[in-house]
Structure 1
Amino acid sequence: MATEPIDKSQAAITTDDLWDLRADPGRLELLGKAWRALGSGARSAEGKINDAAKDVFSKEYWTGDTADSFNGYRKRLTADIERAAAWADNIGRTLDLTATTLRVQQGLLDDERDKLKSVPADTGTDTLTFRPETAGQTTLVNTAIRTAKEIRGRVDTVLEEKRRDLDFYREQFDLIAKQWKPRSVRMVNLNIGQGAGNSPGNDAGTDSEDIDNIAQAITDQNADIATIQEAFGHDMADLEEELESRTGDNWDLRYAEASSKYHADDDIPILGDIMNASFGNAVLVREGDVISGSEGTGNIKLDVEGSHVIDLPANQPGAGDHSIEDGEGRSAARTEVQINQR
Structure 2
Amino acid sequence: MDANYDLLRELTEAHGAPGHEDRIREIVRRELAAVADDVRTDAMGNVVATVEGAESPDYEVAVAAHMDEIGFMVTHVTDAGFLKLDALGGWDPRVLRAQRVTVHASEGDLEGIIGSPPPHTMSEEERESTDEVADLYVDLGRDGEEVADLVSVGDVVTMAQDTRVLGDTVTGKSMDDRVCLFAMLEAAKRITPDVTVHFAATVQEEVGLRGAKALGVDLDPDLALALDVTVANDIPQFSDESKHVTELGAGAAIKLKDGSVITNPKVHKRMQSVAETRDIAHQLEVLPAGGTDTAGFQNTNGAKPVGAISVPLRYMHTVTEAAHEDDIDATVDLLAAVLDTEDGAHDYRL
Q: TM-score, normalised by structure 2?
A: 0.19
Higher relative contact order (CA 8 A, sep 6+): 2
The structure where helix makes up a greater share of residues is: 1
Larger strand proportion of the pair: 2
What TM-score do the two structures reach when normalised by structure 1?
0.19
